Structure 1
Amino acid sequence: MLLYGRNPVLEALREGRVQEVTLARGVEEAFVREVKATGAFVRWTSRIELDQLVGTTGHQGVVAEVDDLAWASVDDILDRADARQEPLLIVLLDGITDPRNFGAIIRSAEVLGAHGVVVEERRSAPLSPVVAKTAAGATTYLPVAQTKNLPRLIDQLKADNVWVYGAAGEAAQDVTRTDFTGKVALVIGAEGEGMRRLVREKCDTLIRIPTRGQVQSLNASVAAGILLYEATRGRA
């Protein structure tokens, strides 16, 4: 897989997943030194060639070939919470098919202390270079898992005393007045459609982000970031 962008490539280099990095001529010398310090071989080319190689101009002059990103398991996420001796905080995505939203949610989840993200196999963007680029290296540190059946997974989590909160703009309960102190799963639905009916019905409580403007809905990744912030703030 071709990985591009400075932060994702640097994280992959630190993990030892890259042997060769292709840089565009004119990249700052300080960044070049940082790449070379990892022991990777550096190849030089033009920005136009990199544009053609990855099909975008958003590569920041840095491209590396790495192994495909690997899916974790739900058990990996549960084990991560246990190892940290923390109550579980897991993010469940229902129908997030835009890779940039997916990557941004992974980034927010890692930064704000969630233990992992789970998607349903047939209703998600794949773990692609665009996801990795938008996640800015967070895919290196945060387990991202697939499940065949999200409603069934929610039932399993509830059986383990995980309280499941679903994000819904019309919900009665305000996120700022929500108790996040125990084991928590946050469910984020697709933009426009929201959660599927069955997923929605499986949630213990629906919560909303209070808004004051004329536009009543938030981008899915922005909403996820706000919910995660409130969850971690409440747990602190």
Structure 2
Amino acid sequence: MSKDRRASSKKGAQVGSGGQRRRGLEGKGPTPPAEMRKGHAKQRAANAKARRAQGRPTTARRGGGRSTSELVVGRNPVVEALREGVPARTLYVQQFIDNDERVREALQLAAERGGINLMEAPRPELDRMTNGLNHQGLVLQVPPYEYAHPEDLVADAADAGEDPLVVALDGVTDPRNLGAVVRSVSAFGGHGVLVPERRAAGMTAGAWKTSAGTAARTPVARATNLTRALEQYKKAGLAVVGLAADGEHEIGDLEALSGPVVIVVGSEGKGLSRLVGETCDFRVRIPMPGGAESLNAGVAAGIVLYEAARRRA
């Protein structure tokens, strides 16, 4: 019977580590740069930059992505959408339609824009598409909006060599307010708008119209969880400034607006939600000597963006 070699006291070969302990003591080389470390914020920003450079959409792994297609219904709404440059995929025209001035203008605008398919359809088909709405023979299909990822907004600022200036909307449900904020961000040199994925306005045709075309160059990002996205911005070095009627600071006194900052605007009725308010580094108020109780999101954001742009200049 053979003896257990581990219990043997004889000299000779023994069961050992096979050199694993020695290799375990060897160094693993220099720490790779942040851009190469999986999961690091700088790596995610670098990946977003690469996607933009290759011309691919900067849709998010978590918070971004596509919205659903939208239909603009009716002669006046369709003509207004085409006038304002709202992106469009297909213009549906009812067969044997009464050809008035608005129909002719819609057809002319679609032809001048290029890239818009013109489709003739019988009235029952348009009724089905619009769930029986009064389409008046004109239906415009707007393609899904490509939302950015929240990190893309910071990466865009870094690409431009600027401190990030971002506006986040908390509980703002009117697309026209979103469009107005996009327009103000563009006017005052901001880097984008952040909206929650749920219970918030999205980039509809109405938001596009109110933005007066600036939505084509000002990205809108969407976050699954707004509070978490703001916390990530804080980790990236941005100050989180929330607008509140009872804020401890006035906008004219806040030095944080001159550096990397995300300005959070709540709804006109409810203001900031509790969790978002607790996440803010500063809560600021806009002095209103005229006695108004509140401002809508578009106006409030424009005032604070002007102050931030003035300080940066």
Return the TM-score normalized by structure 2: 0.61
How much does 1:56 deviate?
9.4
Match of residue 104 from structure 1: 180
Aligned mate of 1:120, from 182, 196, 201: 196
How much does 1:19 deviate?
6.6
Structure 1 runs (4+) deviating above 2 angstroms are: 1-13, 17-22, 24-27, 29-43, 62-66
Match of residue 193 from structure 1: 270
Per-residue CA distance 1:52-82 (angstroms, 9 max, x = gap): x8x799xxxx975332222111122122111
Question: 2:78 and 2:163 mapped to 1: Cα distance?
Answer: 34
Question: 1:18 and 1:156 mapped to 2: Cα distance?
Answer: 36
Question: 1:157 and 1:96 mapped to 2: Cα distance?
Answer: 20
CA, structure 1 residues 34+130, in 2 after alignment: closer, same or farther (shift >3 Å)? closer
How much does 1:36 deviate?
5.0
Per-residue CA distance 1:164-222 (angstroms, 9 max, x = gap): 11101111311112222211100001112110111111111111111111222111211
- Unaligned runs of at least 5 residues, structure 1: 44-48
Is residue 136 from structure 1 mapped to residue 220 from structure 2 by the alignment?
no
Report the secondary structure of 1:68's partner residue.
Answer: coil
Is residue 176 from structure 1 mapped to residue 257 from structure 2 by the alignment?
no
- Retained in 2: the 8 A contact 1:73–1:143? no
User: Pairwise mapping of residues 3-42 of structure 1 onto structure 2 (< 5 A)?
Assistant: 9=82, 11=85, 18=89, 25-26=100-101, 37-39=112-114
Match of residue 150 from structure 1: 226
- Retained in 2: the 8 A contact 1:168–1:208? yes
- Equivalent position amino acid for 1:213 in 2: G
Question: 1:95 and 1:76 mapped to 2: Cα distance?
Answer: 22
How much does 1:123 deviate?
2.6
Question: 1:148 and 1:94 mapped to 2: Cα distance?
Answer: 12
Question: 2:143 and 2:214 mapped to 1: Cα distance?
Answer: 16
Identity of aligned residues (%): 36
Question: 1:56 and 1:68 mapped to 2: Cα distance?
Answer: 23
Is residue 67 from structure 1 mapped to residue 143 from structure 2 by the alignment?
yes
Is residue 231 from structure 1 mapped to residue 297 from structure 2 by the alignment?
no
Match of residue 292 from structure 2: 215
RCO (CA 8 Å, sep 6+): is it higher in 1 or 2?
1
Aligned mate of 1:82, from 158, 169, 183: 158
Report the secondary structure of 2:268's partner residue.
Answer: coil
How much does 1:7 deviate?
7.9
Question: 2:254 and 2:209 mapped to 1: Cα distance?
Answer: 33
CA, structure 1 residues 96+12, in 2 after alignment: closer, same or farther (shift >3 Å)? closer
How much does 1:132 deviate?
1.5
Question: 2:262 and 2:195 mapped to 1: Cα distance?
Answer: 13
Per-residue CA distance 1:111-155 (angstroms, 9 max, x = gap): 221111111111312321111122222221111111111111111
Aligned mate of 1:163, from 235, 239, 249: 239
CA, structure 1 residues 42+109, in 2 after alignment: closer, same or farther (shift >3 Å)? same
The structure with the largest alpha-carbon Rg is 2
- Unaligned runs of at least 5 residues, structure 2: 1-69, 94-98, 120-125
- Equivalent position amino acid for 1:117 in 2: V
Equivalent pairs, count = 227
